[in-house]
Every structure is written in C-alpha cells, then in structure tokens.
Structure 1
Amino acid sequence: MQVGALLAFGLFLGLYGYAEWLEHQRSKRGYKGLHNSEDDVEQPNGKVPNGKVPNGTAAAPQSPTNGGMAAAAAQQHFSYLGCSFARCLLLDEQALLDTRLNLRAAVEFGTIMLWYYLADRTKTFPRGTKEYSRDVLAFIFATLTLVAAWTSMKKSRAVVLLNRQQTEEWKGWMQVLFLLYHYFNAREIYNAIRVFIAGYVWMTGFGNFSYYYKSKDFCLGRFMAMMWRLNFLVAVTCVVLQNSYMLYYICPMHTLFTIMVYAALGIGSRYNNTHTGILVKIGACFVVVFVCWDLKPVFYAIWGPLTFFMGYSDPRKPTNDLLHEWHFRSSLDRYVWIHGMICAYIHPWCEAALHKVDAMALRTRLAVRTVIVTVTTAVFAVWYQTVYVLPKLEYNQLHPYTSWIPISCWAVIRNLTPGLRGYSLGLFGWLGCITLETYIGQFHTWLLTDIPDGQPKLLLHFLPAAYPLLNFGLASAVYVYVSYRLFLLTNVLRQAVVPAKAGAELVRNVVVIAASTGSLVAAGALLLRLRLLAQ
C-alpha cells in the first residue's frame, strides 16, 4: 500500500502541476488583453469551498477557459461520471481549474507525509534519547502558561457554562502536558495523564450529546464529516508508514464513542424529547458498556473478527494477544463518555443554578461560592488521597470508575464565577483545536518510532545531542507548524470530498474514491511483483 500511496502522490502532483500551468496560461491571456473576446469573459461559477484557500486568504472566482457554453456542456457531459476528481483524471481543463486549490492541498498533505517518512524511517536526522527532568518540564509548562495569560487572554463570545472557547483551552493545556509527558518520559505523572485522556473522552460524550440533543440533526453528511476529521489523517499515516490503526489508540477510541453517542440519540430519536426517554437511553449505555467490556469474553467475541484491523503488537515487545491493547485502552475510559452525556443533559439546569448564584446579594453569593469551593476541594482531596496516589497498576483498576471525579471538580471550579466562565487563554485554545494532529504527528516529527508499529522511544534532533534544549525548540517549532497545516488541509479536503448533506453526491464520492484507491493499490502491488520478477 505504500507504493499505492506514492503513486497517488505522483498523480496529484501531476494534476496540480497541470492545473497551475492552465492557470498560468489563463492569467497570461488575461494580461495580454484577450478578455475582450466574448468567449473569454470571466464567469462567476468557479468555486472554492468557503471562498478560502488553505492558507486562509480569499480566493478569486475561477473562470472557464473555453467559454460559458462549453463549460456548461462539459458539466452536463461529465455529470454522470461522478465527482470533480473523475473529471480531473480525464484532464478536463475546467475541472482542473475549479479544483486547483484542492489539488494544492492534496499535494501539500502528501508532502507532509513524505516528511513524516523522511524524519521517522530514514537516518537523515540524528536520533536522541529521552531524559526526564522535572524542573525542565515544569518550567516549560509554567512559561507557556504565563505567555498565554499575558498575550492571549480573551473574552469568550458567550459567557455560558463550559463554552466552546473554554473547552478548547482545556484540551490545549492538557495536550501540552500529555506531549511533555511523552517527550520527557515523565512516568511520575502517569496517573494525571490518564485523567487528561479521560477528559478528552468525556468531552466526546459532552460535545456530541449537546449537538445532537439540541439540533436534532442526525444527517449522515455531518456524521461522515466527523468520521473524516477523526480518521483521514490517521488512515493515510498508517498507509504511508505501515503502522497499525491501534498505534494511535486515541483515534479509534474517539471514533467508537462518537458512534455510540450518535447511535444512542439517533436510534428512537423521538424519545429524546422526554426525560424518561433520555434516562432510559443513558441507562442502556451503561448496560451495553458493562456487557461489552466488563465481560471480557464478550469483548473478544465482538472484536475478534476485527483483529486484522484493531489488533496491535509492539515489535519490540511482541504479544500473542493482539486485542490486548485495544481492550486495555478502551476499558480505561469506557464509562466516562456516558458521564459526559449526563453533564450535557443537565447542563441547562446547572447553568440556571449558576445564574441564580450570580444574582444573589454579595454576602449570600460569597457564602454559597465558599461552600461550593469547600465541598469540591474536599471531594477532590479524598479522591487524590485514596485513588490518585496509588501505584500505576492499582490506579488503573479504579480509574474507569473514578475519573469523572477530578473532571467534575475541575468543571465546577473553572465555571464558578462569570469572570472564570467568560475568559480563556487563546494560545491554549488554538492548541486545543489541533490536538488530533499534534497527537498523531508526535510519533513521527517530534518523537520517532523508527520502525513500523514501534512505540515512540526516540527524539528527533536537528543538532548534536549536546544541545538538548535547542533541539527541543527546533523540533517543536517544526512539529507545531506541520500539525497546524495538517489541521487546515484536512478541513479543505473534507469540504471537497464530504458534502454537507448525505445523498447521491456522498455515495458518488465514496464510490469514486474507493475505486481510485483500489486501482492505486493494485497498481502498487503489480509494480512490486514486477520488481520481484526482475530480480
């Protein structure tokens, strides 16, 4: 499949090069005044998704090269052949011009995949080893927090409980600590990292429940857009670097729990309008999780046929139980997404209660908030003293049933006053938007796995090992930039491939992409076969 991916990159590169040449020719004709010709009058029907190109600048409308009537005829002629990609493969000039920016995004995406391969699987750059320094880790995080507070403090658009800006900030600072934990191999904060990962899964339940419950929008197009967001980058990365899906375990976890929230509210959606209906569905989620995870034979019976897809074995520590990793990872957070759904359901009542507290007289308000802080702190202290301080293995046994406690405590304290609810740190919020890209990218352009399916045991260096902090700074700059570009490019390609609403266009795109992928994989396999025969 690697060869197929390389062929795909070459194909997109060729199509993009031809599209740029066509654009250059059109610009040159316009410069020479050929737009005076009736056939060359600029048409307004060239489109770019959202009027934006990947770097965020406004895109000018594209015009047909062969006149409006010819373009219309071409559109009609090619309509039954499928999407614009099929027309591009047939070298239709208008289609190439219309999709030039999407082709550019595909080429840039492919170039970043080549960078992943170059950095991780070749010896082009030196490797470093992890060294834990509590002081350095704490200093980096504290400095970043101070910079964020000093330069990016901003008022939220809506002063509501757990607003979007606040949850993005939450994801951002957790991701920073999660990444530093990996970079410095900071084993002493393992239990905290487990709570952070539970926080991500909690937000999966909270965010998806909030959307589906309020909007009642169970459109397949929106659901497929979410699946694209969660899995496109990881799928391509797995193909290019020959890794298993489970190496990036957070992606299948979020995918599964997103599907479960969608199913919980989408099945029998008419019952979502009653409290009884929602409570029954939440109870059913608990039962399903208990049966499918707590009863281990059931888990293996369900996932056994999918071992080829969900199985994983670290080549440095091989195991015969290929589903162990998936069972272990998903079991740790199997209940917390349901708690996120519950919090989303009671969100209006909690927000109303906070507004009542805000409206109280000063002394009463201070007294009530003092009680809330005292109770919350006491609950957190009990959890910390009885659960958090346990050794890793013992903690993991209790984590699935207790991770909701620190998450709830944080949500209460973070939203106690209008000031706390109304402001967020923009830098952490920005990082929170690219958590998926930074999670996947850390394996191949910050840390290094070095081999297929290997864990990221090494560090990417650009300078000699005698300069660890300079290497950290350079690698981090490249890593964050690449992750941000992947975030933008994934969105651009999603807009090109996944329509807003499900229908014939979505089916058509899936068929064309599946056929193209199959053809490229077959061509790659044929080339490898011919190479073996030649030897």
Structure 2
Amino acid sequence: MNPVTTVSANSMNVLVGWVELQSVSNLHVCSQGAMVLMNSLCNKVIRPIDGSCCQNTPPLTFLQKMLLCVFVVTTLVFLLLNFLRKLPHQRPMVPDLESLEEKKPGAEAVCGALCRMGLIMVYFYLCDRADVFMKEQKSYSHSAFFVPLIIVFVLGLFCSESTKESRVLNREQTDEWKGWMQLVILIYHISGASAFIPVYMHVRVLVAAYLFQTGYGHFSFFWLKGDFGLYRVCQVLFRLNFLVLVLCAVMDRPYQFYYFVPLVTFWFMIIYIVLAMWPQIVQKKVSISALWYLGILLKLVGLVLLICLFAYSQGVFEITFTSWPLSKLFELNGNIQEWWFRWRLDRFAVVHGMVFAFLYLLLQKKQVLSETRGEALFSAKVSLPLLLLSGLCFITYSVWASNCQTKEQCNEIHPYMSVLPILAFILIRNIPGFARSVYSSFFAWFGQISLELFICQYHIFLAADTKGILVLIPRNPSLNILVSSFIFVCVAHEISLITKLLVQLF
C-alpha cells in the first residue's frame, strides 16, 4: 500500500507527534498502520489512483438522475414490447440488428438499443466513478510498449485478404490504417509511453494521420457525391458525437474532455463550409474549366491563411472561442488552453488531407494513375524514386523525433513535419500493385470501431480520467489486461451497432 503524500500540514504534524509518542511508550507502530492513518486523513482531499485508498462516491447530478430514469423507463417499455411480441398470433414488430440495413428500426429495436446503452453506461460509471474497482499507476518500460506492439502486428499480418477494389486508399485500406493506428494508441496509453519522447512524437503522427484522413475522406465525398444537404451533415455529427454526449452526462465531464471528438467535429464543419461555398467542385459537372480549379485552390489558400491567423494570434483565437455559445463546447476547467494546444498541434493536418484528395482526384480524372489490380501506380521510372524518397522521409522523421530534447520543442515543429511520414506511408502502401490489392482484415475490423475504441478507453480501459489503469483482477496484471481489454473491445463494438441503429431514427 502506497502512502498518499499530500496531506495538510496540521494533519501531518498531528500524525508525526502521535507516532513519536507511541514509539516513546515502546508501542511500536508498524509502517502500514501509519500509512492507513495518513490515507484516512487525505481521503477527502484528493482522489488517489493507486488503489490504496477509497473515497465516498460523488453524489449523482440532476442530469445523471434524469438519465437513470430514462434508462429505467426504456427498459420497462422494452420488456413490455417483448412480452407483447411473444403473445400468440402476434407478428414480430421490428427487425433485429442483423436486418437494420434493410429496414427502419421499430419501437422494440430502439428501446432495446437504449436499454443496452443504459447497461453499458452503468458499467462505465462503476468502472470510473464508483469505488467498485481499483486503479493503479502507469509505469513505462520499453518491453511494456514494444512487446504487445510486435504481437499485435504479427496477428495483423496473418490476416491478409484481397481488397474488393484496388484504387488508392480504398475503403478496406483506410479501415486497416485506422485499425492498426488505434491499437498502437491504446498500447501507448496503457503503457504510459508518453514519457518516452521518440514514441510520443511517432504517436503524434498517428493522431495527425486521423485528421489527414478526415480531410481526405470528406473532401472526396463532397467531390464525388456533391451531397451538401443537411441530412448528410446531421448524419456525420450524430455519428461522431452520440457516444461523447452520453458520456458527458453520465460521467459528469465537459465536452472538451474528449478532445478528439470536438477536434474532428470542428474540422468537419470547416470542410463542409469551405466546400459548400461557391464554386462547388463536384464530379457531376460535365465540364469544369481551369477557373473552377482555381476557385478550389483559392478556397484552400484562404483556409490556410485563416489557420495561420488563429495559430499566430492567440488573442484572436481566445476571443473567438470564449464567446458564447462556443465557450461551452471548448472550455475545460474554465479556460480554453487545452483546446488551443490540441487545435494548434495538428492545425495543418486536415488541409494536407484536402490537398492530397484534390491532387489525387485530379490525377485520377486526367487518367494519369494506373490503379488496375496488380499494377504499379506509376511507371517504373517514377515509382522507384518515389519509393526511395518515401523511405528517406521515414528515416528523416524518425531521426529528428529521436533527437528532440523536449516535447515543447518537438510540438513547435510537428505541424510542419507530420505530413512527411504520412505521405511516405501512403506512397509505400499504394505504389506497388500487390500492396494496394491486399489488406489486413484483423486491423480493418478494429478500424471500423476506431472512434468507439478511442472514446471508451477513457473509462473502461484506462481509469481515473486516463491517469491510471483499470483493475478488474487485482494482483495479476497480465490477466487483468486480457480481461479488461476483451470487455472493452466488446463494449466498443456493441456501442458501434447501437449508434448505427439509432442514427437511422434520429
């Protein structure tokens, strides 16, 4: 049992005097007894995360009580509908989850989804708000990070399958990309690897790559589909924010606490506004003149200039995001410093993704690329130099990241450097025809629930607001990680199914 070191001066003096008095009286006090007393004094002051102390569970807020009532009501309605469905001569009222792609969800399916969501939220609350389970400190070692990393990648390589299509960054490939990145981030968080700067900087590239995909994916959708309707916007916003908004209420945390979702949501809205403005460059237009392409380039240049204005003028940034109602979305602990840090760190990643999508779709339209299955993307004279240059970019970035002295120094240069390893990975992954035609179904499966995995880790994989590790099975770290990871992945997958069902309703 570890003593908690932050107790008040008066309490510490009383404790020391008591121990000395007992020692003088030849009544030997064991060190563990002193620790217990110290813990009892500090329990109401701080909430430790090493599992040695306990504290009264904080009282439920009004919103938490309301959600509990909703959960109880939906559970009762679900049980009633299920009972009525089983009565003789009653037709099934709604489809199950397997048929949700073909039919709209009915009352029983919706109530069932909300009931399951309620049970999951109860589990979240018990893990990270109640004192049911212990928490322990993170402790970084190279083996704790690299050994599971090697195991995960070996598993991924054994699950190779052919892609349905062989174009650059096809759906299976982007799911695979999201999947292995998310698994690396999970290992990074639970091993406390942020203490090791080279690993920290490489993981920062993975976060930038997620935002790069955001820019690439949404730009490509609007280019190819030309769908700027409100339905599409609401669909994306619900998919991104449903779980986070529920957790904000259940776990009594601000929206900005789950920083990545506000970041992705913000950039989606920026992409939508920029591309919805005239001129709208969409593939459906029969003939697009050079002036139209110039228009989209001017949009991108204008967006870069706006980003630079906010990045180099903190005053303008604070005035903008501390204004109501934006302040309610971006404040954490009464200020927007966390939002300023997160936004500034990867401020160009989305624009990089948009520019890459623009150039790729333009080259595709001009039929410059060879995307036939098994064929190299470019001719041999072009492919080989690009592959060598990509490898050089990887090495350059790794050498730079390994020689950084402080995180602050690295973070200042990171927005300009992160695009190099991202582009290098894309070229190495897509120039060879054989590499573009296969993917790892293991990583792709995790990629399909990457958003849920990222959010759920806050409370049922990690604990104490990500500062510690959840302990379901004490005194057996390996078994504890296996059990908690299995439950964590199952919960994330179930939430993904629930979100897909509810998004059709809302």
Q: TM-score, normalised by structure 1?
A: 0.75
Partner residue of 1:482? 491
Runs of 4+ in 1 over 6 A off after TM superposition: 58-62, 356-361
Partner residue of 1:335? 348
Partner residue of 1:261? 271
2:422 to 407, 414, 433: 407
- The secondary structure found in structure 2 opposite 1:128 is strand
Counterparts of 1:294 and 1:59, CA distance in 2: 47
Any residues of structure 2 matched to 1:120-139 within 5 Å, and which?
A: 120-139=128-147
Partner residue of 2:79? 17
Q: Which moved more, 1:269-278 or 1:182-191?
A: 269-278
Partner residue of 2:432? 417
How far 1:360 sits from its partner (Å)? 9.1
How far 1:417 sits from its partner (Å)? 1.0
- The secondary structure found in structure 2 opposite 1:355 is coil
Counterparts of 2:254 and 2:397, CA distance in 1: 36
- The secondary structure found in structure 1 opposite 2:253 is coil
1:157 to 164, 170, 174: 164
- The secondary structure found in structure 1 opposite 2:492 is helix
How far 1:441 sits from its partner (Å)? 0.7
Counterparts of 1:278 and 1:59, CA distance in 2: 36
Corresponding position: 1:179 with 2:241: no
Counterparts of 2:452 and 2:100, CA distance in 1: 24
- The secondary structure found in structure 2 opposite 1:127 is strand
Any residues of structure 2 matched to 1:110-509 within 5 Å, and which?
A: 110-150=118-158, 152-187=159-194, 188=196, 189-270=199-280, 273=288, 274-305=292-323, 306-313=326-333, 322-350=335-363, 352-355=367-370, 366=380, 368-386=382-400, 389-390=403-404, 391-449=406-464, 455-465=465-475, 467-497=476-506
Is the contact made by 2:375 and 2:433 (CA closer than 8 Å) also made in structure 1? no
How far 1:368 sits from its partner (Å)? 4.0
Is the contact made by 2:161 and 2:439 (CA closer than 8 Å) also made in structure 1? yes
Counterparts of 1:356 and 1:182, CA distance in 2: 37
Is the contact made by 2:223 and 2:281 (CA closer than 8 Å) also made in structure 1? no
Q: Structure 1 residues 295 and 285 mapped into 2: Cα distance closer, same or farther (>3 Å)? A: same
How far 1:247 sits from its partner (Å)? 1.1
Q: TM-score, normalised by structure 2?
A: 0.79
Is the contact made by 1:357 and 1:365 (CA closer than 8 Å) also made in structure 2? no
How far 1:140 sits from its partner (Å)? 1.4
How far 1:489 sits from its partner (Å)? 0.4
Any residues of structure 2 matched to 1:60-79 within 5 Å, and which?
A: none
Letter in 2 for 1:114: V
How far 1:289 sits from its partner (Å)? 1.2
**Structure 2 alignment gaps of length 5 or more:** 1-62, 283-287
Q: Which moved more, 1:479-488 or 1:373-382?
A: 373-382
Counterparts of 1:216 and 1:295, CA distance in 2: 35
Counterparts of 2:505 and 2:360, CA distance in 1: 35
- The secondary structure found in structure 2 opposite 1:132 is coil
How far 1:388 sits from its partner (Å)? 5.7
Q: Structure 1 residues 299 and 47 mapped into 2: Cα distance closer, same or farther (>3 Å)? A: farther
Counterparts of 1:229 and 1:409, CA distance in 2: 30
- The secondary structure found in structure 1 opposite 2:86 is helix
How far 1:308 sits from its partner (Å)? 3.1
Is the contact made by 2:279 and 2:296 (CA closer than 8 Å) also made in structure 1? no
Report percent identity of matched pairs.
28
How far 1:350 sits from its partner (Å)? 5.0
Is the contact made by 1:387 and 1:398 (CA closer than 8 Å) also made in structure 2? no
How far 1:131 sits from its partner (Å)? 2.1
Counterparts of 1:496 and 1:360, CA distance in 2: 43
Q: Which moved more, 1:467-476 or 1:370-379?
A: 370-379
Listed one character per residue, the Cα deviations across residues 114-168 of structure 1 (whole Å, up to 9, x for unaligned) are 1100111112122222122322322212222222222x21111110011111111
Any residues of structure 2 matched to 1:523-534 within 5 Å, and which?
A: none
Is the contact made by 1:232 and 1:490 (CA closer than 8 Å) also made in structure 2? yes
Counterparts of 2:384 and 2:165, CA distance in 1: 25
Counterparts of 2:219 and 2:231, CA distance in 1: 17
Corresponding position: 1:7 with 2:62: no
- The secondary structure found in structure 1 opposite 2:472 is coil
Letter in 2 for 1:389: N
Counterparts of 1:388 and 1:334, CA distance in 2: 23
Partner residue of 1:33? none
Letter in 1 for 2:187: L
Is the contact made by 1:47 and 1:61 (CA closer than 8 Å) also made in structure 2? no
Is the contact made by 2:240 and 2:261 (CA closer than 8 Å) also made in structure 1? yes
| Aligned pairs, number | 427
Listed one character per residue, the Cα deviations across residues 198-257 of structure 1 (whole Å, up to 9, x for unaligned) are 000000000000000111001111110100011010000000010011111000000000
How far 1:59 sits from its partner (Å)? 10
Is the contact made by 2:218 and 2:271 (CA closer than 8 Å) also made in structure 1? yes
Counterparts of 1:172 and 1:236, CA distance in 2: 24
RMSD, aligned CA: 2.5
Letter in 2 for 1:476: S
Q: From the two aligned structures, give the one with the greater helix fraction.
A: 1
Counterparts of 2:250 and 2:408, CA distance in 1: 35
Letter in 1 for 2:112: R
How far 1:383 sits from its partner (Å)? 3.3
